[in-house]
Amino acid sequence: MSLRGSIRKMRTALASPVLYYLKVGEEELPMNEKLGETLRIEFAGEISCIACGRGIKKSFSQGYCYPCFRDLPETDGCIVRPETCHFAAGTCRDSAWGETHCMQPHTVYLANSSAVKVGITRGLDPVSRWIDQGASKGLAIRRAKDRLESGRIEVALKEFVADKTNWRAMLKGDPDPIDLALKRDELLARYAELHPETPLSGEALPEATSLEIQYPVSEYPEKIKSHNLDKEALLEGTLMGIKGQYLILDTAVINMRKYGGYHLQVD
C-alpha cells in the first residue's frame, strides 16, 4: 500500500487498545493493523497550510503559514496560556470563534503520562486530550465556566504538580501507577491550606472516576531517537507501537502532529 498527500494529526478512538488512523491526503490509514510491518515515510518537499491551504516553505504552530499563525484566534498566545485569555477585554482575534471555543465550559484534569500532570480541555470529555498526551490514566477534577477560569485553576495547581508531559519518559514505557483520586484530594487540600484567602474557583467533581487507557505498543524503545523530516526526509523501520501522537519504529520515533500539512508518501 502506498499513499501520498498532506497529513493531519492522527485521529483516535477509545478502545483497548486505542485505535489510530492516519489521514494522508483523502485516504485514512488504520495504523493498528500495521503493527509489526515495515513502514516507510518520506517527506515530498511540499507543505500546505492546514488553515488556508497555501503552499509554504516553513510551518508555524504545527501546520500554519505565517499570516494564519499571526492572525487566527486558534494560534494566539492565549491558546497555550489560557490564563491570559483576553476575550473579556474585547481584543480576541475573532469574537465569534472565541464564543464557540473559549466562552464554553472547560474541564480541568489530572493525567498520568510521564508522571502526574494537570491540564485543561474544552468541553466535558477530556478523553481525546488524554490520548493525544499518551496518558495511561486520566481523571476530571474540576469544571470551569470558560477557558480563562480553567487556565487560572491550572496555574493555581501547577504550583504543586507539572503541567507538561515529558514525552521522552512517556515513550519509554508505562508510568508508575498512581491513584489519581487520592492525588486530587492531596492537591486540593494542599492548595486550601496554603491559600485559604483565595478558594479555588470552578465546580468540584468529587464523583468523577478515573479512566485507564491502553496503547497499541508491542515494544518500547530502550533509547529514544526522534526523527526530524526537515533534516532527513526518509524514515523507514518496523512499526513497534503508537502512543500519544507518536509512531514508535525500531529505528526512531516520530511525532506526527508536528508535521500537519506536510506532504508525505507513506508505504
Domain boundaries of the chain, sorted by first residue? 3-57+217-266, 76-210
pLDDT the model gives residue 1: 78
Give the model's confidence band at 263: pLDDT under 50 very low, under 70 low, under 90 confident, else very high.
very high
CB 13 within 8 Å of CB 266: no
CB 156 within 8 Å of CB 200: yes
pLDDT the model gives residue 159: 94
Average pLDDT value for the chain: 96
Residue 85 scores a pLDDT above 90 = yes
pLDDT tens digits, 170-204 = 999 999 999 999 999 999 999 999 999 999 999 99
The whole-angstrom separation of Cα 261 and Cα 212 is: 31
Grid coordinates representing 106 are 472547560
Residue closest to 262 by CA, chosen among 29, 46, 39: 46
**What is the average pLDDT across 121-132?**
96
Please state the pTM of the whole predicted model.
0.95
CB 242 within 8 Å of CB 33: no
In the block, cell 495511561 appears at 136
